[in-house]
Structure 1
Amino acid sequence: VEINGIQDDPDIKVLMAGSTLRKVKSRSWKKQRHFRLLEDGLTIWYKSRWAGKGHSTFSVTELEMVREGHQSEVLLSIAEEFPAALCFTLVFHGRQGNLDLVAESPEEAQAWIQGVRKLIHRHSLRWVWDWFQKADKNKDGKMNFKEVRKLLKMMNIEMNEEHAFHLFTMADKSGTGSLEIEQFVHFYKILTQRDEVWKVFQDYSGDGEKLMLEELDNFLRIEQQTGERSAQHAQELIERYEPSETAKKQGAMTLDGFQMYLCSQDGSIFKPEHQGLYQDMSQPLSHYFISSSHNTYLLEDQLRGHSSLEAYIKALKRGCRCVEVDSWDGNDGEPVVYHGHTLTSKILFRDIMSTLKEYAFKVLVLRVLSPFIALQASDFPVILSLENHCGVEQQTVMAQHLRQILGDTLLTTLVDGQVPLQLPSPQELRGKILLKAKKIGAMGDRNCPMASFALFSPLLQKSKSKLSRELSDLVVYCKSVHFHGFEHSRLHAKCYEMSSFSESKAKKLAKESGRDFVQYNTRQLSRIYPSGFRTDSSNYNPQDMWSVGCQIVALNFQTAGLEMDLNDGLFRQNNCCGYVLKPEFMTDGNAQFSPEKPDERQGYRPLRLSIQVISGQQLPKVNQKEGSIVDPLVRVEIYGVPQDQAKDETSHINNNGFNPVWNETLNFVITTPELALVRFVVEDYDKASRNDFIGQFTLPFKCIQAGYRHIHLLSRDGTAIPPSSLFVNISISELS
């Protein structure tokens, strides 16, 4: 895509002349770099003014959007030093980190913000060019109708041949029976014109050409339910998404701008205000759901799988805040970690500690929330769940490694020196690693006579000698104890004592004593782990455990599927920091909530969720065979308290993965909205065998924005697959 026709734009002129911008990585790392747009109109080049020949480049096609002002953690941290008018962020597609930049003047910042936005819009069809070049086998830059039909199939587009030929003839301005690349782009644009978006646009546009400010304001208030701020919001959206300068000057939005807005983060199903850190982080640890991993060291199954440090890095990248270590005596005095009594490979305990030290708080949390979101690190505490099979000697070696390698990131003392009546908060424990393991005696009684008696009395030594004093001393707030029942716990348990439950034991307790389990979990932490029979590292449904308030619901992060989709979905909110505050009826010690009887709780208010599934856009091919086209259907699944579990689906559309239109409405009643997760799944219908998975997106019900929204689909392993999306209209209302 050449620069012709845009190089006279004043903003593009600034980009081509080049500017010195500060690249910011942290509060202390702010370095000047010279940036400029190269002559191809596609490549942004930058280098240090002092470095010799070294330079970096990236393509405009890699960019998703430009954010203005202090819209990233890094830029927020330097807000006092540099005003918002100088700052902007270049957001990349997928997993690539963002670029935070500071200009020397507000005018220069605006030129870069607007200029790059224009280029993103101009090059949004770049991938169409790439397809064209792939299909142009003889490289003559032309394609006849037969070749175009073949290309459409490759792009997962199946369409009425007569209609396609009609559009082909319209695009063939020269009447040669073949399209050159520019004509093909024109053909593609008329082919992909989205009637369903155009219809919504027409409903609010007086002249059918543009939405004036007041018309856009009406749309936002009535359809998008933006409330009082809609007028100001309408102005912001025009500034942000309208590609036409003329329309901008009129305070209007064209169909192009409207479509860009609907496909953007602002038009996404996920509430923008729930993406950042919006929850109170100063409550006791027991009041939060904590993203937790089981057998963290495994990359595969539990019998022959590969143990790997990479598995810890991957889990932490995914926002995990509780990792598991199975330690066994090593041959040379060094403890090793693996799945005991199996053929899984072994890794050194000390190497895992080094990995944790490096990645626990510095790792960029992998935002599996579509391509929009920045990558940021979580500094809320990491719990190290130790499954200890070592003898006393190597336990002492573990204690030495924990102290020496983790240093002051390991929590070894009480936060304020006092034995607590409730657990400290994630806020108070920021940047700390907590050891969960067995402990000799009670907290704070290290020097009391009973503790030393326990160590030296021959009667007690037998049971206590299995524990190393050095390792025991490192356990502060997560002392592993055997569970003796809810009544016993209510009368005798300390807040820092926690028990682990197998999935079957926890499920039984949840069914028989749901209310007691919720109460128990207001004060103490519970860890749930998959059944020992799951040798294939499969997972159980975590929702059953969250519904009774269990905090540490450990899953095999290495195994893709519904259960990890739910985990990603729950922890997608609150800055993906790995901690989500439980609803108030699960943290109040006097609350009487039972997931089996949701209507008995105070403040019970069920809601109706109505989802009109309108259309799909550019769904990925499932079968890579050249001739195969998907027959997509959409299923909406609700996960929550037992009464809320539900699913419903649309019919399937034959042979159209490119722009299927369903226009079908699915309705649900949700009794406990605070605990519900909504999962959108797209499948390729197959009447003879099981449907194939195409993509999904899962989010908490409380994070859903009403109105016309796009759902940006994720792959099986939870990563973004742009430009695949669903277009829906969502309404949420009280049951009348």
Structure 2
Amino acid sequence: MSRQSFKVCFCFRRIFKLRVLEPPEEVKILFDQYSQNGTMSLDNLRGFLVEFQGEYNATRDDAQAIFNSLKHLNIFSRRGLHLEAFFRYLLGDLNGPLSPSRVVHHDMTQPLAHYFLYTGHNSYLTGNQLSSDSSVEPIIKALRRGVRVIELDLWPGSKKDEVEVRHGGTLTNPVDLLKCLNAIKDNAFQASEYPVVITFEDHLPANLQDQVAEMVTKTFGDMLYRPETDQLREFPSPESLKKKVMISTKPPKEYLETPSSKSTKRSKISSKKEQWNGETASKSDSEICDKDDEDEGESLQEEDEQMTVPEYRHLISINAGKPKGALQNWLSIDEKKVRRLSLSEQELENATRRHGVDIIR
């Protein structure tokens, strides 16, 4: 019987005896079927993996790896596994709930918007959001962990003739965009064949957008998914997008606005606030509206789309932005086109509380 000690009041230890968990009868019967004289050999274990677990590609090396994982325990025998060691394996990390040969077991032929995507935020930062370095290393690590959405913040360089990736308005050091794109290309499908989405938080003038379009096209080539139309009515499926890279972004607000358009926009904002405040006295909705008007690049107007560099716009397979009007309008389905809607955790919580039926359909 094993023991475990606990320190009490930082002064003395108390020792408790731990009862060994008894294998249930079903496990005992199963062990008897795949063992001889109370010992499960390497070949017996492989037979269990193939015949009972359905791991048809299991080899002796796989069985040996299980043996090796239990060698440090006193319950392990050189000749094979005893009942207690077998039971320990069944409850351990090497015996996951899903078969290794069937990691993806869902229907992957539905539109991309029907799935949760493993998403990164400021994927290029090596540490904190204020003063850390920007690097390709966090991007590489994220992709190898299975992250499917990589975010890059694009800003003009110091000479205004090049594009760099950095967290704007902070002390973070930049990294070259082309290095980031090459890192994504080389590591995108190491962990999964399903598509990688690159979201650009774009703060660039039109001439630098043109540079980005050229870099993205040359870097990814046939890997880049280009929709046949600028107005997709439905996203393709993950299955059809295997080993494809998708671009998601919206036009940069700060470079597209002229003084006259800013004046016009101020009147639009005032009108929008009235619409929001008229929606069942929803203070949270109007607060969200105020925040979105302050956030760079979050508003997407049709006239902005027309001013975007054509080559750059044609790279975008997932359009980002928010429609005009109240929050409920954001959440309505536009049968003519699909887009990505960005909400903070607080915004999503408020939206779910007030418009849950529009979010969960």
In which range does the TM-score fall when normalised by the shorter chain? 0.5 to 0.7
Partner Cα distance (2:27, 2:315) in 1 = 64
Is the counterpart of residue 435 in structure 1 residue 247 in structure 2?
A: yes
Is the counterpart of residue 213 in structure 1 residue 33 in structure 2?
A: yes
Is the counterpart of residue 513 in structure 1 residue 355 in structure 2?
A: yes
TM-aligned CA deviation for residue 467 of structure 1: 2.6
Q: Residue 231 of structure 2 contacts residue 336 of structure 2 at CA under 8 Å; is this kept in 1?
A: no
Q: Residue 201 of structure 1 contacts residue 258 of structure 1 at CA under 8 Å; is this kept in 2?
A: no
Partner Cα distance (2:239, 2:23) in 1 = 45
TM-score normalised to structure 2 length: 0.62
Distance change >3 Å, CA 404–CA 212, structure 1 → 2? closer
1:272 aligned partner? 98
Distance change >3 Å, CA 502–CA 256, structure 1 → 2? same
TM-aligned CA deviation for residue 262 of structure 1: 2.6
Aligned partner of residue 328 in structure 1, secondary structure: strand
Partner Cα distance (2:80, 2:128) in 1 = 50
Uncovered stretches (5+) of structure 1, i.e. residues with no partner: 1-155, 160-193, 217-228, 244-253, 364-376, 441-459, 520-736
TM-aligned CA deviation for residue 272 of structure 1: 2.7
Aligned partner of residue 292 in structure 1, secondary structure: coil
1:196 aligned partner? 20
Aligned length: 267
Is the counterpart of residue 351 in structure 1 residue 179 in structure 2?
A: yes
TM-aligned CA deviation for residue 411 of structure 1: 1.2
TM-score normalised to structure 1 length: 0.32
TM-aligned CA deviation for residue 157 of structure 1: 7.0
Uncovered stretches (5+) of structure 2, i.e. residues with no partner: 7-17, 37-47, 68-78, 253-300
Aligned partner of residue 118 in structure 2, secondary structure: strand
Aligned partner of residue 277 in structure 1, secondary structure: coil
1:423 aligned partner? 235
Whichever residue aligns with residue 200 of structure 1, its letter is P
Whichever residue aligns with residue 334 of structure 1, its letter is E
Partner Cα distance (1:515, 1:489) in 2 = 10
Q: Residue 439 of structure 1 contacts residue 479 of structure 1 at CA under 8 Å; is this kept in 2?
A: no
Identity %: 25
Is the counterpart of residue 341 in structure 1 residue 166 in structure 2?
A: no
Listed as ranges, the matches of 1:303-702 within 5 Å are 303-332=130-159, 333-361=161-189, 363=190, 377-414=191-228, 420-438=232-250, 463=304, 467-476=308-317, 478-484=318-324, 485-487=327-329, 490=332, 492=334, 494-519=336-361
Q: Residue 327 of structure 1 contacts residue 390 of structure 1 at CA under 8 Å; is this kept in 2?
A: yes
Partner Cα distance (1:259, 1:287) in 2 = 43
Distance change >3 Å, CA 328–CA 422, structure 1 → 2? same
Partner Cα distance (1:461, 1:420) in 2 = 16
Q: Residue 334 of structure 1 contacts residue 349 of structure 1 at CA under 8 Å; is this kept in 2?
A: no
Distance change >3 Å, CA 463–CA 436, structure 1 → 2? closer
TM-aligned CA deviation for residue 260 of structure 1: 3.0
Whichever residue aligns with residue 287 of structure 1, its letter is H
Partner Cα distance (2:186, 2:226) in 1 = 19
Greater share of strand residues, 1 or 2?
1
Partner Cα distance (2:137, 2:179) in 1 = 11
Partner Cα distance (1:511, 1:200) in 2 = 46
Partner Cα distance (2:118, 2:227) in 1 = 24
Listed as ranges, the matches of 1:71-110 within 5 Å are none
Partner Cα distance (1:389, 1:403) in 2 = 20
C-alpha offsets along residues 498-541 of structure 1, whole Å, 9 cap, x if unaligned?
2111222111001111121113xxxxxxxxxxxxxxxxxxxxxx
Aligned partner of residue 336 in structure 1, secondary structure: strand
Q: Residue 120 of structure 2 contacts residue 142 of structure 2 at CA under 8 Å; is this kept in 1?
A: yes
